[in-house]
Amino acid sequence: MLDERLLRAFKAVAEELHFGRAAQRLHMSQPPLSLSIRQLEEQFGTALFIRTTRSVQLTSAGAQLLRSLPDIEQAHQQAITAVQQAASGLSGELSVALTPSATYTSIPRALRAFRAQYPQVHLDLREMNSRHMAPLLLSGQLDLALARPLITSTALHSRPIYHEPLVFCVPHGHPLALREAVTVAQIRDSDLIGYSATESVYFHDLLLELLGPDAERPRTGLRTIIPTILLLVDSGFGTAVVPQSLSRLRSESLSYVPIADDQGLRARLSAIHRAGETTPALQGFLHLLEHAL
């Protein structure tokens, strides 16, 4: 970037076309002013002035630089502003990954609030399975993960941000659809659809914990992920246990029944970032999350 001091010297000489008057205008002696002009000419690799004993004139390159000065000064100020905004968290980029099931919580409310309060920060959102997030966080490709609490690393800091009960999902018309609540025993006796042990590890383990150690494997034999599990229930393949936040989906054809004896079991969501990471944009987003969820 061009030295602002050298540009001020050039502007004074170009407008005065006299080194003595330009030096007086800048409250400096003439030799340092002449040195500044030579330094600027060396940077451009061309003469900016034609100097004689009687006059000073702009070369074609000097005239072009004079015409370009307003744009250069504006770009210089924009660069300063951009750096200051980035340092204060008012600009830059924040890369956030979220697990698909998290999109049905109140996280969109936090995203809207962040965009309103930090309009110059580019929010890079990525949807992915929780188990894929840790390597990206550690390598610096992600700033924040909104994930199920599966990630464990001393290099990462995790804080719980949200928890919700599980509900029993059945089609309208199912014998249990209109119940005020169901029991775990009734869920066991249903045509339950399970979760994939590889692609939906968290909910696979959570369902097993709910059903108990002596429970039989889900009788349908189906293993899937969220939100595909709702499609299978809606298509008549069986029943499911899902987080309560999913109950806003397919409500015209599916019923979501509370589980009476869930023993306080909850689906949990954590905000995970690199330990010691304290960028203003990240802290601002975490603050908004706490108020939205």
- The answer to whether the CB of 204 falls within 8 A of the CB of 197 is yes
Sign of the Cα pseudo-torsion (154, 155, 156, 157, in order) = positive
Q: Which candidate, 160, 132, 146, 156, places its Cα nearest to that of 94?
A: 146
Question: Strand, coil or helix: what is 262?
Answer: coil
Selection from 214, 190, 182, 209 nearest residue 267 by Cα: 209
Same fold, 92-161+275-292 and 163-267: yes
Q: Which overall architecture, per CATH, does domain 92-161+275-292 show?
A: 3-Layer(aba) Sandwich (3.40)
What is the bridge-based pairing of β-strands 240-243 and 91-98? unpaired
pLDDT at 204: 94
The whole-number pLDDT of residue 266 equals 96
Q: Which residue has the tokens 């595909």?
A: 228
> Residue 153: what pLDDT?
84
The whole-number pLDDT of residue 278 equals 80
Q: Per the structure block, which two tokens stand in for 14?
A: 């170009």
Whole-number Å distance between alpha carbons of 151 and 237: 32
C-alpha dihedral (207, 212, 218, 224), degrees to nearest 10: 20
User: What's the CATH number for 4-87?
Assistant: 1.10.10.10
- List the chain domain ranges: 4-87, 92-161+275-292, 163-267
pLDDT tens, residue by residue, 197-234: 999 999 999 999 999 877 766 767 789 999 899 999 99
Tell me which CATH homologous superfamily contains domain 163-267: Periplasmic binding protein-like II (3.40.190.10)
Structure-token match 């400096």, residue found = 28
Residue by residue, pLDDT tens for the chain (293 residues) are 678 899 899 999 999 999 999 999 999 999 999 999 999 999 999 999 999 888 999 999 999 999 988 877 777 776 666 666 666 656 678 999 999 888 888 898 999 999 998 888 899 999 999 989 999 999 999 999 999 987 778 899 999 999 999 999 999 999 999 999 999 999 999 999 999 999 999 999 999 999 987 776 676 778 999 989 999 999 999 999 999 999 999 989 999 999 999 999 999 999 999 998 888 889 999 999 988 87
pLDDT at 117: 86
pLDDT for residue 231: 96
Report the amino acid identity of residue 264. G
DSSP 3-state assignment of 157? strand
Element (H, E) at 207: helix 201-211
Cβ-based neighbours of 161, under 8 Å, separated by 6 or more: 146, 269, 270, 271, 289, 290, 293
- Report the pLDDT value the prediction gives residue 292, as an integer from 0 to 100: 82
| Token pair of 61 as six digits | 């390159």
